[in-house]
Amino acid sequence: MPETIADKTIFSLAEVSRSIQKTIADRYQSLYWIKAEMNKLNHYAHSGHCYPELLEKKSGRVIAEIRATLWKKDYERINQRFLAITKEPLKNGINILLQASISYDPVHGLSLHIVDIDASFSLGELEREKQASIALLKDQGIFDANKQLPFPLLPKRIAIISVETSKGLADFLKIIDNNPYGYRFEYSLFPALLQGEKSVSSIMDQLARIRLQLSQFDVVALIRGGGGEVGLSSYNHVLLATAIATFPIPVITGIGHATNETVSEMVAYKNAITPSVLADYLLQHFHDYARPISHAEEVLRVKTRQLFDQQQQLLANTIRYFRMASLNKLRDNRHQLADLRSRTLQQSKHRLIQEKTTFQQLKKLLFIRTERALLKEKQLIAFLGQRLKRENLHVNKRSHQLLVQLKDQLIRQSQQLTSNEQRDLERLQHHLATVIKRSLLESAKALENQERHLSVLDPQHVLKRGYSITLLNGKAVSNAHVIETDHQIKTILAFGEIESQVTFVKTNDETNNG
């Protein structure tokens, strides 16, 4: 009851609180549908209860705020329906349409007790946010910015954003590392959260790290895989989509889901439905490059062989030509020399005959001359003999010099042509040896890479990680239904073996079907 002190009616705090409690209870007796933003879910794992903080904003300013309660059973029911309809769990920062009762407690104050949440409303809100992100990116003119970047001819160096334990990442690496063509990729993993509230900031932080070492990579691969449809709303966030759209090198995604594309996938250079398909996309680029190279190698090999054969034939023809030309030239020179010798002898004989005739005539005419005149005639005959001898020697010497010059010229030309052809052959042999050596080195490296990956699959490595092999009658057992009680089985560990007798067997539907 209120007190009266100095003409003042005074109420206690408890009285005022109970009055407010009664008034609110009388006024708000029904359940009400209320639209609000769930600022924080505040789920406590140990109790299973939630204490959401609800807001309403206008122009970015909070104009209303109230706390609420969501008990464990209601939360589990509502969260399951959210997963089924929106493919997302209840989480912070989403707009919801909730059904709640209004209550006031003298100690805890005003609150809403949530009994239901319309998942369809939140689904529409998520789609509205997605369309708003798309519209904003298009208005800024960056929606297709990443798609317009030139894609590298060989996307060899890959910056991968994923989780170390992701099955999708394992599938992706298995395909590119064990490709049958022996193509070699270089990649670095940038670990990030790929779903949940912190996934947007986590992925953006890794994009920022990659940007600082941009020259080391050709493309960025965002790989999720294995996560189903849960947590995809993160990829509709406008900040993440902006970071991907404006990234300076191509961003390719393999997020792994079968629903409509997220905004991040829409703005990426290439979107594959699974990480495995994304790996095949990269391999295809290598294959498209390798095919013309292989064809060019074959053409070069054939053309080189043809050129070598042609040069060999040309060299053989040249040698044969010069041999025949040299022989013909020598034969012609011999004929000229023989002809010159024959004409010289004939001229000499003719001259001697003429001189002899003259001498006989002079002898008959000048028989009566004195001994002095006879001596003069003898001197004249001696002089004429010496002159004839000099002329014969001069002719023979010029023919011999001409023959020697022709022979030397032919030898020099043959030697020079042979030397040039030998140098061309040596250069061609050196080039072929270099190409063959490089091809053998690349094949050896590919073989070493294959051996290294095969060693990882050694069963001994699997056993060392804590796994074991169970044998029944010497055969490995994969299904429990083939074992019965009292059977003797052997268990092989990484270090040792265990023999035991079965006392209990448990099977399930999967095992029986198997």
For 438-462, write each residue's pLDDT tens digit: 756 765 575 566 556 555 555 666 6
Q: How far is CA 174 from the centre of its chain?
A: 14
- Amino acid at the residue 81: R
Q: Is residue 469 very low, low, confident or very high in pLDDT (cuts 50, 70, 90)?
A: confident
Answer whether 146's CB lies under 8 Å from 268's CB. yes
Taking the CA atoms of residue 495, residue 500, residue 504 and residue 509 in that order, the dihedral angle to the nearest 10 degrees is 50
Answer whether 97's CB lies under 8 Å from 35's CB. yes
Q: How, if at all, do strands 109-117 and 94-105 pair? A: antiparallel
Whole-angstrom distance, CA of residue 419 vs CA of residue 255:
66
Answer whether 172's CB lies under 8 Å from 279's CB. yes
Q: How, if at all, do strands 186-191 and 53-58 pair? A: unpaired
Q: In terms of residues, how long is the chain?
A: 514
Structure tokens at 55: 């807001």
Q: Is 217 helix (H, G, I), strand (E, B) or coil?
A: coil
Mean pLDDT of 88-112: 87
The CATH architecture annotation of domain 3-122 reads Beta Barrel (2.40)
Q: Is residue 393 very low, low, confident or very high in pLDDT (cuts 50, 70, 90)?
A: low
Q: Is residue 275 very low, low, confident or very high in pLDDT (cuts 50, 70, 90)?
A: very high
Whole-angstrom distance, CA of residue 289 vs CA of residue 271:
21
Whole-angstrom distance, CA of residue 45 vs CA of residue 500:
41
Q: Is residue 395 very low, low, confident or very high in pLDDT (cuts 50, 70, 90)?
A: very low
Whole-angstrom distance, CA of residue 459 vs CA of residue 455:
9
> Looking at residue 228, what is its pLDDT?
46
Answer whether 490's CB lies under 8 Å from 497's CB. yes
- Tell whether the torsion through CA atoms of 31, 35, 39 and 45 is positive or negative: positive
Task: Report which of residues 228 and 265 the model is more confident about.
Answer: 265
342-391 pLDDT, tens digit per residue, is 887 787 777 777 767 766 666 666 566 555 655 665 665 566 557 656 65
Mean pLDDT of 144-159: 94
The pLDDT mean for the chain works out to 80
What is the value of pTM for the model shown? Answer: 0.47
Task: Report which of residues 171 and 418 the model is more confident about.
Answer: 171
Q: How, if at all, do strands 488-493 and 496-501 pair? A: antiparallel
The CATH architecture annotation of domain 140-273 reads 3-Layer(aba) Sandwich (3.40)
